[in-house]
Amino acid sequence: MVAVMIFAFALAVVVYFIPSIVAYARRTQNFLAIFLLNLFLGWSLLGWIGSLIWALLDEKKGYAYVQIPVAAPSNNASISPQPRAIMTAPPTPSSTAVFCPHCGHAVGPEDLFCAHCGHALRQPPEK
Ligand SMILES: [Zn+2]
């Protein structure tokens, strides 16, 4: 009878610490935090399920440490200064050059209508 009770207690402890065991087996980054959550909030079903989900979803130690150095240079290489300068450069280099918004033909800065397509470049002055 005593042996059965000890066995039942041991089984309950094992079941209680399943999230910590999973976290330890997967060598997760936040094993200590998962263990503490499991220890203090495992008595509530929500805390137990939460720590178990955390243990299952948490990234492995090796994965995170390998991923950071690999990802950093590739990000820097993709964002080279030359494409950024082209992107931010205005399409018209000087303020005096005006282009028709309708057809893109070059027009004079004082022109009211586009000489190419006749598009009204600005509102006619009020009389
Ligand atoms: Zn035009």
Alpha helices (H) in the chain, listed in sequence order:
2-16, 18-25, 31-41, 45-57, 61-78, 81-88
Q: What is the mean pLDDT of residues 106-112?
A: 88
Q: How many residues does the chain have?
A: 127
Find the helix or strand (DSSP H, E) in which 107 lies. strand 106-107
Q: How far is the CA of 109 from the centre of ligand 1 (A)?
A: 13
User: Tens of pLDDT along 47-102?
Assistant: 999 999 999 998 876 544 444 444 445 555 555 555 555 455 555 554 567 899 99
Q: How far is the CA of 85 from the centre of ligand 1 (A)?
A: 29
Q: How far is the CA of 118 from the centre of ligand 1 (A)?
A: 6
**pLDDT for 117 beyond 50:** yes
* Domain spans in the chain, listed from the N-terminal domain onward: 2-78, 90-122
User: Tens of pLDDT along 8-37?
Assistant: 999 999 999 999 999 999 998 899 999 999
Q: How far is the CA of 95 from the centre of ligand 1 (A)?
A: 18
The pLDDT score that the predictor gives to residue 68 is 45
Q: How far is the CA of 110 from the centre of ligand 1 (A)?
A: 14
